[in-house]
Structure 1
Amino acid sequence: MRKLWPLPEQRLLAEQLRLLYGNVGASVIPALLLAALLVYTLQNDVNRSALLAWAAGVIVSKLYAFADARRRLADGIAPGQERRLVLHLTVLHAVDGAAWGALAWVALGSTTMTGSIMVLAVLTGILGSSMSLLAPVLPTFLAFSLALIVLAISWLWQSGDTSYRALSLTGLLYVVSLAGQARNSNLAALAAIKLRFENLDLMKAEEEARRSAEYANLAKTKFLAAASHDLRQPIHAQGLFLDVLARSGLTAHQDEVLASARSAWQASSDMLNTLLDFSRIEAGVVQPHPQPFDLQGLLNQIENDLAPLADAKGLFYRSRETALTVESDERLVEMVLRNLVSNAIRYTERGGVLVACRRRGASVQVEVWDTGIGIAAADQREIFREFHQLGNPERDRNKGLGLGLAIAQGLAGALDLRLSLSSRPGRGSVFRIVLPVVPSGTVAGAMTGTAGALATPPHAAEALPPGLRVLVIDDDQSILAGMAQLLESWGCACDTASSLSEALALATRAAPAWTPSVIISDYRLREQQTGAQAIAALRAALGRHVPALVITGDTAPERLREAMATGDPLLHKPVKPEQLYQALFNLTKEETYQ
């Protein structure tokens, strides 16, 4: 038996049992009707009592099997219970088979030839139908068929009739044939069950992999946000001190060293700003403001800024003229194109870069061509993933962080623009972005050439109001010292605080004779407080609205959303001195100071 039907693993066996239990219900009503029909057809004065007793036995057997199946399906099959249930079902269906086989002893010797043929036909049909019903658990079919055939052929053999004995041997061959078919049916059902479990396991593995990827991505985002914040603090302070140093009297050699230091600071700042841009896209705080603008002016600005990079590598840089006016957020479109052009220059060693525009009905296709290394088809989707770089296994800092194309794609999505790529390895690449065209002459106050990060204001030429009093709140002492020196070099009176309680004491100690004209606060303060809370508390304590500026080094998406929601102007560390100056001028230009 074990060789004919080796028991599969528990979960497969449990499914086979459920399949058999589900089949039991389909055989109950036909069996009851057939038993009643046989009693009605075969009964006579000789066999009536025995036939009624037989029918009662078959009915009881079927009803018990049906009730048992319903209970098992309702309660479920507990792990470790499978083999015991196989034994239980084998015994149960052996009894059922014996009940049907007993029909030969009850009816064959006491009925007409027509009745005998009917009995043999019914037993043959019962054996055939049981094969499809019981094959999921093969021992149950073998027990049922053997019990039935043994009782049936034992009567045929003991009758002494040569024809009946030959018929008994035919019955044995029939059962052997059915056993082979039942085994094949069992294997087919088992294969289907295995396939279903494999599919479920694959789905679970995919779900687990997706969850792991999401967890890893979340952990990466949190790590980058924390690392970015901690790096921004000293780099922000460094920029402040370098600007103060630049205003002091330096020798020519010192000026040269300072220029190198500022160049290194700028490189670090640019990398952090790239991380910030990516974080802002992920946080969903990039809000496009579409308006018509002159496309050629934007292309000229990008060429003026980036063509020197191509010249330094011995590459040509061409930008074809266009007179088209498009409608989108010029600042964000510029970031997309700058990333595409910078990427093209970075990965091109010979030849050059071409920026061209092709009119396509109501839109224009801006194309950035290069003769660089090209991108294989298998990598063309991957290069838009963050931190993914081709041809930079040594992670050369001069080749960036691998965020340029991820930022370009994220901004294109925010602008609802289509960004596409065509490339051949060794032949170069072309990136295309499609912009909607508007009739020429509809440019309304659009500004061209706003280079840099997502929110980089130009340096303010106007002077700050005289007597400007600034209260700076930050829990980093180096930043407080740098801000104080920088603001004082601009003619501002400056006071500093490292916490909200200290800021409240400073702002109110001499009120109303001395109160801050402007508050500059870091967003993340001590004691789990934020710059928004500090500004609100100071305004409440002073009893008036004080212009305020929030500075943050956070790049975590949720922190960016919180900081943006304050309603006060927001700058991101490391802040360039000219950015800070412009922000202060914008805050104070409508204020009157006593």
Structure 2
Amino acid sequence: MMTPLTENQILLEQIRLMQGNASGSRLGISIFSLFLVWAYFDQGNTTLLLSWSGLVMLGNFYSWRRAGRILALDVSSVSIAHVKYLSLSLIAYYTCYGALWGVFPWIAQVKDTSVGIMLILTYLAGMAGGAVALMSPVLPAYFGFAGMLLTSMTIKLYSMGPDYYNICGSAVLFLILLAIQAKNSSQAAKIAIKVKFENMDLMSKLLVETENAQAARLDAEHANHTKSKFLAAASHDLRQPIYALGLFLEVLSRSSLSEDQRDVLVSAQASSDASADMLNTLLNFSRIEAGVIQPNIQPFRLQHLINKIENELSPQAEAKGIVYRSHETQFSVNSDIALVELIFRNLVSNAIRYTEQGGILVGCRKRGRQVILEVWDTGVGIEPNQHQEIFREFHQLGNPERDHRKGLGLGLAIVEGLTRTLGHNLLLGSTPDKGSVFKLALPIAHSAIIHEELNSVPIRVQLKGVNVLVIDDDESVRAGMLLLLSEWGCLCQAAQSIEEALAMASVQKPDLIISDYRLREQASGLTAIATLRTALGSSLPALLITGDTAPDRLREATRSGLPLLHKPVSPSELFRHIVFAIDKAI
């Protein structure tokens, strides 16, 4: 059931449509009226014909002015009463207009001849038939116009005698047929107007929904940007003390300790490593968001990677009382071994975390030109409606209390991001309460050149006597680096600013620069290294260490081309990079 307001809108649109239809016909009707005056002009009817033509033109002028006002109305502000007034006034006008055209055969004194009869019939058909398209949107207006026109014409024919009664009947039948056609046309116009309003309503709703979706998207982007900035700032501030703690613990491990002190040290190192692992997870996620990961694709054997992950993570499975098994494979694949290792480690860690009984199975199988690396578990499984959600950052299953021992909820988000970066496919199959399987598709390699890990350092390089200049604005980091590098036999100096580093370098030229990325007073390690290389030579080896995870800073640091290490750097990794940097410079 249409509401009154909607009925009012439809009627107003019908009136506007009728006025719009008539806008192009008024000039033609005026010219036609002048033609009729010319055709039937004689001395006996001059005044009547000219008066009739003047009334036609005056009516057309009135209709034109009235149509302009109606079409200019603000549809939303027109009352129901005013719309009804417009409708009634139009009906009255066109009824009178029909009567005006109906009296023409009487005024023109059409004779009882074949030409006269033909004129009346042509006149009748043209005016009444043409009015269907123009006036049918407001059906009563058409009935008023056509009724008066045809009534007058029929009476005129009837007055010509019995010979024309059949023509009168035909005229009446013609009127009935036109009425049916006008009614159908009016209904079609009303349906079209209703569809127009429905489309406008849908477009309005769609616009509102689009605006809401746009606002929600902007809010989500802002929240995501704020989250990233917070994580970057928090990560940087947390990395500094944890990095320094790792350096001090490494130095302490080289000291003479009692058995009890050694146990305490091991516990402290385990806690430090756990904190470092959480920060590295945040770093990996930030690197994916920043888009700074550049895959280094080369062939490598999968078995080496499977053995490495098993050696590292099988003790965790055994500690939970679950089985960890892997099948040996001879397959080699083309990919980035470091990124695949990170994906594989996250998948296995996730499997161990969510499995309480049964076990973990790792295996490979060939499918066409791909090797499918599979990680099976008998864990809690994943509901179908969660298969997409688990790859969102900070999304965890079964951890409403946010127990940090169950991770940060970034593992699978990192897996998804790295898989996308490498262009590989990752498939998930799972049955709730029975377990899950993740399948990573890797392109098979047939090359004889296989990647070998560079875990060993060049034998010909020794750190004893190597002069290292450390630049870091954190006092604890500088102290830890001095102690550790001295333990390795280096001659070490530490500066907190670029100016202090230049002063030290002018006295004793360093063999290697190790600089933090973010220094005091908005200075950066990139500027510090560039300044020292300008003063001491562009070939001076340098390492850049950063605790930043902000995407823009990661991109800037990566573009520099300097070896980039991320805090907290493990002592073994730091040692390895120092050795390779010195070896490369020799």
- TM normalised by structure 1 equals 0.80
Which residue in 1 is equivalent to 2:322?
A: 315
Alignment pair present for 1:557 and 2:558? no
Alignment check: 8 A CA contact 1:235 1:265 kept: yes
Within-5 A mapping of 1:552-591: 552-591=546-585
Which residue in 2 is equivalent to 1:303?
A: 310
1:129 to 133, 144, 148: 133
Query: Which amino acid in structure 2 is aligned with residue 210 of structure 1?
Result: R
TM-superposed CA distance for 1:37, in Å, is 4.1
TM-superposed CA distance for 1:561, in Å, is 0.9
Partners of 1:565 and 1:412 in 2: CA distance: 23
Residue 102 to residue 504, structure 1, CA distance change in 2 (3 Å): same
TM-superposed CA distance for 1:232, in Å, is 1.0
Query: Which amino acid in structure 1 is aligned with residue 532 of structure 2?
Result: L
Which residue in 2 is equivalent to 1:110?
A: 107
SS, match of residue 23 in structure 2? helix
Which residue in 2 is equivalent to 1:56?
A: 57
TM-superposed CA distance for 1:349, in Å, is 1.5
Which residue in 2 is equivalent to 1:453?
A: none
Which residue in 1 is equivalent to 2:399?
A: 392
Partners of 1:131 and 1:475 in 2: CA distance: 87
Residue 30 to residue 554, structure 1, CA distance change in 2 (3 Å): same
Query: Which amino acid in structure 2 is aligned with residue 208 of structure 1?
Result: A
Which residue in 2 is equivalent to 1:500?
A: 498
2:269 to 257, 262, 286: 262
Alignment pair present for 1:347 and 2:354? yes
Partners of 1:272 and 1:345 in 2: CA distance: 20
Alignment pair present for 1:334 and 2:346? no
Q: Write the deviation string for residues 138-162 of structure 1: whole angstroms up to 9, x where unpaired.
A: xxx5996799699889999x99x9x
Partners of 2:357 and 2:33 in 1: CA distance: 95
Partners of 2:85 and 2:140 in 1: CA distance: 6
Within-5 A mapping of 1:280-291: 280-291=287-298
Residue 331 to residue 115, structure 1, CA distance change in 2 (3 Å): same
Structure 2: any 5+ residue segments left out of the alignment?
Answer: 111-116, 159-167
2:451 to 446, 451, 459: 446
SS, match of residue 98 in structure 1? helix
TM-superposed CA distance for 1:177, in Å, is 10
TM-superposed CA distance for 1:101, in Å, is 3.3
Q: Write the deviation string for residues 59-98 of structure 1: whole angstroms up to 9, x where unpaired.
A: 545665787799x6xxxx9xx7852699699869957972
Q: Write the deviation string for residues 359-388 of structure 1: whole angstroms up to 9, x where unpaired.
A: 222222222111111112211111111111
Residue 91 to residue 367, structure 1, CA distance change in 2 (3 Å): same
Alignment check: 8 A CA contact 1:58 1:100 kept: no
2:482 to 456, 471, 484: 484
Partners of 1:461 and 1:93 in 2: CA distance: 106
SS, match of residue 269 in structure 1? helix
TM-superposed CA distance for 1:209, in Å, is 2.1
Within-5 A mapping of 1:148-227: 186-227=193-234
SS, match of residue 29 in structure 1? coil
TM-superposed CA distance for 1:460, in Å, is 8.2
Q: Write the deviation string for residues 1-33 of structure 1: whole angstroms up to 9, x where unpaired.
A: x9576667xxx99xx87x987886554334543
Partners of 1:343 and 1:366 in 2: CA distance: 15
Partners of 1:67 and 1:559 in 2: CA distance: 64
Which deviates more, 115-124 or 474-483?
Answer: 115-124
SS, match of residue 206 in structure 2? helix
Partners of 1:142 and 1:309 in 2: CA distance: 85
Which deviates more, 56-65 or 315-324?
Answer: 56-65
SS, match of residue 417 in structure 2? helix
TM-superposed CA distance for 1:318, in Å, is 2.1
Alignment pair present for 1:274 and 2:274? no
Query: Which amino acid in structure 1 is aligned with residue 583 of structure 2?
Result: K
Residue 423 to residue 62, structure 1, CA distance change in 2 (3 Å): farther
Q: Write the deviation string for residues 229-259 of structure 1: whole angstroms up to 9, x where unpaired.
A: 1111111111111112222222221111111
Residue 29 to residue 258, structure 1, CA distance change in 2 (3 Å): same
Alignment check: 8 A CA contact 1:464 1:584 kept: no
Partners of 2:221 and 2:357 in 1: CA distance: 40
Which deviates more, 398-407 or 316-325?
Answer: 316-325
Alpha-carbon RMSD: 4.2
Alignment check: 8 A CA contact 2:91 2:140 kept: no
Alignment check: 8 A CA contact 1:229 1:553 kept: yes
Which residue in 1 is equivalent to 2:162?
A: none
Structure 1: any 5+ residue segments left out of the alignment?
Answer: 136-140, 451-456
Partners of 1:363 and 1:544 in 2: CA distance: 45
Partners of 1:583 and 1:216 in 2: CA distance: 37
Which deviates more, 56-65 or 402-411?
Answer: 56-65
Which residue in 2 is equivalent to 1:29?
A: 24
Which deviates more, 187-196 or 556-565?
Answer: 187-196
Alignment check: 8 A CA contact 1:374 1:428 kept: yes
TM-superposed CA distance for 1:496, in Å, is 2.0
SS, match of residue 381 in structure 2? coil
2:433 to 415, 420, 426: 426
Residue 184 to residue 342, structure 1, CA distance change in 2 (3 Å): same
Residue 382 to residue 390, structure 1, CA distance change in 2 (3 Å): same
Q: Write the deviation string for residues 542-583 of structure 1: whole angstroms up to 9, x where unpaired.
A: 355321111101111111110011122110011111111111
SS, match of residue 24 in structure 2? helix
Partners of 1:340 and 1:5 in 2: CA distance: 60
Alignment check: 8 A CA contact 1:97 1:145 kept: no
Alignment check: 8 A CA contact 2:18 2:135 kept: no
Alignment pair present for 1:541 and 2:539? no
Partners of 2:381 and 2:64 in 1: CA distance: 74
TM-superposed CA distance for 1:421, in Å, is 1.0
* Aligned-pair identity (%): 42
Partners of 2:337 and 2:352 in 1: CA distance: 22
TM-superposed CA distance for 1:266, in Å, is 0.4
Larger Rg: 2
Q: Write the deviation string for residues 493-539 of structure 1: whole angstroms up to 9, x where unpaired.
A: 2222222222223322x2xxx22222111111122221111111122
SS, match of residue 354 in structure 1? strand
TM-superposed CA distance for 1:186, in Å, is 4.4
Partners of 2:17 and 2:143 in 1: CA distance: 23
TM-superposed CA distance for 1:351, in Å, is 1.5
Alignment check: 8 A CA contact 2:133 2:185 kept: no
- TM normalised by structure 2 equals 0.81
Which residue in 1 is equivalent to 2:165?
A: none
SS, match of residue 589 in structure 1? helix
